Chains A and B, each alone.
Chain A
Amino acid sequence: MPSEAPPGAAASPGGAVADPGGTVADPGGTVADPGGVPAGDPVVDPVVDHVLEFPGGYTRTTGPVIGRFLTELRDARIVGVRTADGRVLVPPLEYDPATGEDVTGEFAEVGPAGTVQSWAWVGAPRPEHPLARPFAWALIRLDGADTALVHAVDAGDARAMRPGLRVRPRWRAERTGHITDIESFVPEVTKIVSPVRAEYRLRPGRALTRFLEGVARGVLLGCRCGSCGKVYMPYRLSCPECGVAITEERELPDTGTVTTFAINNLPDPRAPEVPFVSAYILLDGADVPLIALVGDVPAHEVRQGMRVRAVWAPRQEWAPSPLSMSNIKWFAPTGEPDAEL
């Protein structure tokens, strides 16, 4: 693998090194000879910027083996070379690293899929890295290869990486015959996202309409079964136990007791934050609880028996439609001692 320009030739770009006289090497009057600096003058830090760069880059010949690999890459194919003992080296080398012998002239297409053997996660990519977002370096054994290729895996999140992960190359549209013709590898498809959305027009029914009209006035309306005596909240037209019509409306206070609850970790537009608590609240005077949010309290402090009161939205924010529960934001602890359940 000869190089046209020896490393030393990279050195003298624009005189920054060969003639440092004007920039660095003649600090005599300022720093190197402190005698010349009048006392009290600020000390000058003699640091200068210096760039080592070979204009246009080195030209390197590839030889037949690496050249074949890079040529196939340009055509979006990956090949390995077979060693005398039949192993496939990917990427190909001119010699077998195990024996030092020349490889055979036989190339074999491999991949494009492969398996991650080990990986390291780059949380903060450097400018020289192949991706500007967090990614993994990985040793990838392409299908049909006996060695591993080092490349980047664009996995989005370190938690997506694991030994055994199946990946495939993501090719650049414009390929030149360079290892970066593969922009990166990406995990194979193992799942899809299915959007779910449908639109409806709902009417609450007569009982719920009656209840919501109450909420619109700032009243919680329940009812009492004339047969069994149970007080239901919210208001309903029949007793589900007795199967008889209910006629007696009853206003209930906006205070009650948490009977059971759940901590929810998925966001909900109605909830103040995540996690939030939805609870069964037995309003004072009711025989069945209603479901409502509990707020103004850390989720882990909510408990059975906790006394709560409805937090009403400010009256000027009440919903213009009469048919909404949004006038009540949630229930919050009253600070009273817990109730016996």
Chain B
Amino acid sequence: MREVAVVAFAQTRHSAVDEGLSEPELILPVIEEVRRASGLRTFGFTCSGSCDYLAGAPFSFVSALDAVGAWPPISESHVEMDAAWALYEAWVRLQHGDVDSALVYGFGKPSQGDLHQIMTLQLDPYYLAPLGLDHVSYAALQASARGTDRAELDEIVRRSRAAGRANPYALDLPDPEGDAFEVEPLRPYDVAAPADGAAAVVLAAGDLARSVCERPAWITGIAHCMDSHYLGMRDLARSASAAEAARAAGAGKAQVDVAELHVRFSHEEPILREALGLDGAFSAATEVNPSGGPLAADPVMATGLIRIGEAARRVIDGTADRALGHAASGPCLQHNLVAVLEG
């Protein structure tokens, strides 16, 4: 495997309301920031992740290229997924050996639509989407299948929101309170806080990484796995694909100092801890979502990339030696990506 590292990461100050910026306007500052941090103006490969349904317009991701500068023509690709999967594609592209750098970015403006409607559109069009099954509803089914410990979930939200208040990029959300259900057993505060935002990462291989970054965050393992899309065909209390991705990425080979998890609903954290903690990679010393995670800010389609970026940032700044970034996609943790980053 060719050595590839995260050498720069930037994100917007995510906003719960539409601040009037178009998608390219959201992206431009973070692209500039990672260019400045890496000293690289052009890249061997560029890949983005976003969802056209968030904007309600086809090929809306093409206009985002205005923020990158695509002339003369650049080598560019896009995934209709969280940008963590754009990072995966860029990592694969760098394995070819003919280019040494890649720009990865993701963005989303959920404020423009109704996330319940939009997330329903991702589902099986024969069996699930016609029921109007929305993301909070299927998450509640998973929470119910696992069985909820209300005190445990409240503590996860409290801890995540407190961390988010200390994170200048996340939202300022109060401690959880109230006993209303959104969809029982989930309360409104168990649900990730949608936000408008963007993030960018620069990947570099080998000597280029060493020359542009004092302490690159080397990707020593990266893998993604998927469960059946149909909720009734798998054990919702567990995430077999997250466990398999963690195994394939070698997460359990040594202690994990920091884990940034794509927890969009509070009950997903214990499911992921269990799945990713196989082989003893997690311990009491593992910091989980020190950024606050998606429960403190969920710039949809950039959120997974931010988990990898936050984990890498801790390696780059020397406050962690081994960090794990996790991204999820699809209903009820259907599709999971795990990246292990080491200094």
- 5 closest Cβ contacts across the A-B interface? A128-B132, A148-B232, A120-B140, A11-B58, A8-B58
A128 and B116 within 8 A (CB): yes
Across the interface, A139 reaches (CB within 8 A) one of B56, B58, B127, B236, namely B236
Query: CA A111 – CA B222 in complex, angstroms?
Result: 43
**What's the nearest-Cβ distance from chain B to residue A182, in Å?**
10
Across the interface, B131 reaches (CB within 8 A) one of A9, A62, A70, A130, namely A130
A128 and B184 within 8 A (CB): no
B126 and A149 within 8 A (CB): no
**Which B-chain residue is minimally distant from A52 (CB atoms)?**
B56
- B287 CB within 8 Å of chain A: no
B185 and A120 within 8 A (CB): yes
Q: Which residues of B contact A138 (CB under 8 A)?
A: 141
Residues of B226-258 whose CB lies within 8 A of A: 227-228, 230-234, 236
Task: Type the 1/0 row for B206-220, where 1 means its CB is closer than 8 Å to any CB of A.
Answer: 000000000000000
B183 and A179 within 8 A (CB): no
Contacts A128-B117, A139-B141: A151 and B131 contacting too (C-beta < 8 A)?
yes
Residues of A97-122 whose CB lies within 8 A of B: 97, 117-122
Query: CA A66 – CA B134 in complex, angstroms?
Result: 22
Number of interface residues of B (CB under 8 A): 42
Query: CA A138 – CA B80 in complex, angstroms?
Result: 29
**Which A-chain residue is minimally distant from B147 (CB atoms)?**
A118
**Which A-chain residue is minimally distant from B112 (CB atoms)?**
A50
Q: Which residues of B contact A3 (CB under 8 A)?
A: 125
Query: CA A57 – CA B54 in complex, angstroms?
Result: 19
**Which A-chain residue is minimally distant from B117 (CB atoms)?**
A128
**Which A-chain residue is minimally distant from B131 (CB atoms)?**
A130
- A217 CB within 8 Å of chain B: no
Query: CA A179 – CA B130 in complex, angstroms?
Result: 7
Contacts A120-B140, A139-B231, A139-B232: A17 and B56 contacting too (C-beta < 8 A)?
yes
B57 and A52 within 8 A (CB): yes
- A137 CB within 8 Å of chain B: yes
Query: CA A90 – CA B134 in complex, angstroms?
Result: 21
Sample (16) of A-B pairs whose CB atoms are under 8 Å apart = A8-B59, A11-B59, A47-B18, A66-B127, A91-B126, A91-B230, A97-B227, A97-B228, A121-B140, A123-B184, A128-B116, A129-B132, A130-B132, A138-B141, A150-B127, A150-B230
**What's the nearest-Cβ distance from chain B to residue A111, in Å?**
13
Query: CA A50 – CA B18 in complex, angstroms?
Result: 15
**What's the nearest-Cβ distance from chain A to residue B332, in Å?**
10
Across the interface, B128 reaches (CB within 8 A) one of A93, A121, A150, namely A150
Find the residue from B116, B137, B186 having the highest chain A CB count within 10 A: B137
**Which B-chain residue is minimally distant from A60 (CB atoms)?**
B125
**What's the nearest-Cβ distance from chain A to residue B125, in Å?**
6
Contacts A60-B126, A118-B144, A180-B131: A123 and B116 contacting too (C-beta < 8 A)?
no
Q: Which residues of A contact B112 (CB under 8 A)?
A: 50
B58 and A121 within 8 A (CB): no
- B205 CB within 8 Å of chain A: no
Query: CA A138 – CA B127 in complex, angstroms?
Result: 14
Across the interface, B141 reaches (CB within 8 A) one of A12, A52, A60, A120, namely A120
Across the interface, B232 reaches (CB within 8 A) one of A51, A128, A149, namely A149
Q: Which residues of A contact B233 (CB under 8 A)?
A: 89, 93, 97, 147-148
Q: Which residues of A contact B183 (CB under 8 A)?
A: 120-123, 137
Residues of A122-151 whose CB lies within 8 A of B: 122-123, 126-130, 137-141, 147-151
The interface of chain A, by Cβ under 8 A from chain B, is: 1, 3, 7-12, 17, 46-47, 50-52, 58, 60, 62, 66, 70, 89-91, 93, 97, 117-123, 126-130, 137-141, 147-152, 158, 178-180
Residues of B130-159 whose CB lies within 8 A of A: 130-134, 137-138, 140-141, 143-145
Known: A17-B56, A129-B131, A137-B141. 13 other contacts (CB 8 A): A7-B52, A8-B52, A8-B58, A17-B57, A51-B56, A70-B126, A91-B126, A120-B137, A123-B181, A127-B132, A147-B232, A150-B141, A150-B231
Query: CA A3 – CA B131 in complex, angstroms?
Result: 19
Query: CA A32 – CA B324 in complex, angstroms?
Result: 42
Query: CA A129 – CA B184 in complex, angstroms?
Result: 15
Q: Which residues of A contact B117 (CB under 8 A)?
A: 128
Q: Which residues of B contact A11 (CB under 8 A)?
A: 52, 56-59
Contacts A60-B125, A137-B138: A117 and B131 contacting too (C-beta < 8 A)?
no
B133 and A66 within 8 A (CB): no
- B85 CB within 8 Å of chain A: no
**Which A-chain residue is minimally distant from B114 (CB atoms)?**
A126
Q: Which residues of B contact A141 (CB under 8 A)?
A: 232
**What's the nearest-Cβ distance from chain A to residue B238, in Å?**
13
Query: CA A41 – CA B36 in complex, angstroms?
Result: 39
**What's the nearest-Cβ distance from chain A to residue B120, in Å?**
6
Query: CA A66 – CA B124 in complex, angstroms?
Result: 12
Query: CA A88 – CA B140 in complex, angstroms?
Result: 26
Q: Which residues of B contact A158 (CB under 8 A)?
A: 184
